[in-house]
Amino acid sequence: MTMIADNLQRIHDRIAKTCDKAGRSPNSVALLAVSKTFGADAVVQAHAAGQMAFGENYIQEAVEKIAALSPRLLAHLPMQWHCIGPIQSNKTRLVAEHFDWVQTIDRLKIAQRLSEQRLPHLAPLQVCIQVNMDGGPTKSGVAPEDALELARAVSELPRLCVRGIMCIPEPAPDFVAACAVFSRARALFDQMNSAGMGLDTLSMGMSNDLEAAITSGSTLVRVGSAIFGERG
Ligand SMILES: *Cc1c(COP(=O)(O)O)cnc(C)c1O
């Protein structure tokens, strides 16, 4: 087994163990492999080990990687690409043309551009509203109290499909503190669904805090370094 395949197995074990403890089905949590800064070869290894969904932060880097991989891989097994980094207005076209998901919607204007630029032959772009759950001042994401309004406005756009919310809290000092923040995200998610949003994706949890995120209700963990290694 390659190191990447081995690491993927370890993550699946962590997910399964945490789900078991939390009384959740292991199928209720999906894994996004965050391949930012790693080359197409690393993605090929993960894909060969059964990983289908990949997350990228830097648009230009991602588009080059996707282009390098598409002839080789798309013919056999589909891959799914998630944009999990901030998007400037001048990058929306690249995102709309190359990605399947965007998890970082925090402004209506960016969502509008993505909808206008989504290629007609592609499925609607699947999106999450990024929410700033812990008030980090330099961070992207809408305030929790604004998330429902933004989600409603985005759901009106013809070429976008709102699937859920995503958050990236600051690293917490311990498990209990991490759960406290993630549980607030879960409560917001439930509240938005009570308001009729029909969301199925709560994207939270990374290499170091996926247990707390899953315990609190995450349906999608985004794991980079624990799969591909430390980033340089
Ligand atoms: C880099 C990144 C991750 C993965 O972080 P790791 O700690 O390497 O698992 C997840 N989500 C986002 C938004 C990221 O930028």
Taking only the tens place, the pLDDT of each residue in 10-46 is: 999 999 999 999 999 999 999 999 999 999 999 999 9
| Pocket flag, ligand 1, residue 83 (CB < 6 Å) | no
CA 120 vs CA 7, 108, 136, 158: distances in Å: 38, 20, 37, 11
Which carries the bigger pLDDT value, residue 172 or residue 76? 172
| Span 69-125, pLDDT tens digits | 877 665 677 899 999 999 999 999 999 999 999 999 999 999 999 999 999 999 999
Q: How far apart are CA 73 and CA 94, in angstroms?
A: 20
What domains sit in the chain, N to C, each tagged with a CATH number? Answer: 3-18+28-228 (3.20.20.10)
pLDDT score, position 20: 98
Q: How far apart are CA 110 and CA 121, in angstroms?
A: 21
User: Residue 154 C-alpha to ligand 1 middle, in angstroms?
Assistant: 25
Which one of 222, 223, 227, 228 would you pick to mutate in the ligand 1 pocket, going by the greatest count of ligand atoms within 8 A of its CB?
Answer: 222
| Pocket flag, ligand 1, residue 223 (CB < 6 Å) | yes
Residue pair 212/179 in contact (Cβ under 8 Å)? The answer is yes
Closest C-alpha residue for ligand 1 atom 12:
84
| Pocket flag, ligand 1, residue 168 (CB < 6 Å) | yes
Of ligand 1's listed atoms, the one at least distance from the Cα of 225 is 8
| Pocket flag, ligand 1, residue 84 (CB < 6 Å) | yes
Percent of the chain past pLDDT 90, that is, above it, reads 90
| Pocket flag, ligand 1, residue 220 (CB < 6 Å) | no
Residue pair 224/206 in contact (Cβ under 8 Å)? The answer is yes
Amino acid at 139: K
| Pocket flag, ligand 1, residue 57 (CB < 6 Å) | yes
The mean per-residue pLDDT over the stretch 124-130 comes to 98
Closest C-alpha residue for ligand 1 atom 13:
84
Percent of the chain past pLDDT 70, that is, above it, reads 97
Closest C-alpha residue for ligand 1 atom 1:
224
pLDDT score, position 78: 82
Choose the weakest-confidence range: 70-79, 98-107, 139-148, 223-232: 70-79
Which tokens is 35 given? 């391949």
Which tokens is 47 given? 């894909």
